[in-house]
Amino acid sequence: MKEPLDSCTKCHRISKNLLDLKNIYTDYHNKPVQGVGSKDSSICIVGLAPGLHGANKTGIVFNGDFSGNILSYCLKSVGFIDPLEKDYPYITNSVKCYPPNNKPYISEVDNCSRFLKKEIFNMSKLRVIIALGKLSHLAVLKIYKLIPSKYIFQHGKIHKLLNNIILIDSYHCSKLNINTKRVTIQMLNNILFKAKQYKYKHD
């Protein structure tokens, strides 16, 4: 990988926007955001991108905003309490920088896939990837070089990837999706339960 994540400026639109944000939100992180959790875990959760006032502010994935609170609540509900435990899911985003209006271009997802690939391929005990949203689903397919038309995104659907690794699709736990009840806490918990069940079956 030519450029380290911390200093990556490959997406010109995103990088320019982050520079502008530095003048507006002077105490925000306003840089690429690393994943958190355990790389020894068998579960990896892949979100879309840092939220403007969430991870882009705090520098911690799924932290400081509505989506982060929901994900953290659901993880606790299914028994993932301590982020320092080696079984605690690794949590990251398809796009490591905040994209304008929280909407990355597909070319930006592609640009950032080298970082996602490195994270996922470094998880030696990986069994389950949970993709939050369709773009994250596509980002995961890309790193496994799988054809999207054969792996259609559908909430709750399980796709077999390679080497006993599965991909579970979920709607994103965004404020909009929760408020419109497109996805509920119970639906998200069910996804996490599925991931845990699969892990125990294959341990």
d(CA 13, CA 104): 10
Shortest gap between Cβ of 33 and ligand SF4 (angstroms)? 9
Please report the sign of the dihedral spanned by the C-alpha atoms of residue 165, residue 131, residue 81, residue 59.
positive
Among 44, 46, 95, 173, binds ligand SF4 (CB under 6 A): 95
Distances (CA, A) of 140 to 5, 93, 112, 135, 160: 18, 11, 11, 9, 12
Q: Per CB under 6 A, does 71 bind ligand SF4?
A: no
Among 63, 111, 136, 174, binds ligand SF4 (CB under 6 A): 111
Q: Per CB under 6 A, does 10 bind ligand SF4?
A: yes
Shortest gap between Cβ of 151 and ligand SF4 (angstroms)? 23
- The strand pairing partners of 167, in sequence order, are 129, 159
Q: Per CB under 6 A, does 97 bind ligand SF4?
A: yes
Shortest gap between Cβ of 109 and ligand SF4 (angstroms)? 8
d(CA 87, CA 198): 14
| Closest among 125, 165, 158, 170 to 143, alpha carbons compared | 165
Segment interacting with ligand SF4 (CB under 6 A) among 40-48, 57-65, 106-114, 143-151:
106-114
How many residues are given for the chain? 203
Between 43 and 112, whose beta carbon lies closer to ligand SF4?
Answer: 112
What are the tokens at 117?
């690939």
Angle among Cα 181, 187, 192 to the nearest 5 degrees reads: 145
Shortest gap between Cβ of 104 and ligand SF4 (angstroms)? 7
Shortest gap between Cβ of 79 and ligand SF4 (angstroms)? 32
d(CA 177, CA 67): 10
Q: Per CB under 6 A, does 8 bind ligand SF4?
A: yes
Segment interacting with ligand SF4 (CB under 6 A) among 109-117, 133-141, 151-159, 183-191:
109-117
Residues that bind ligand SF4 (CB under 6 A): 5, 8-11, 14-15, 32, 95-97, 108, 111-112, 115
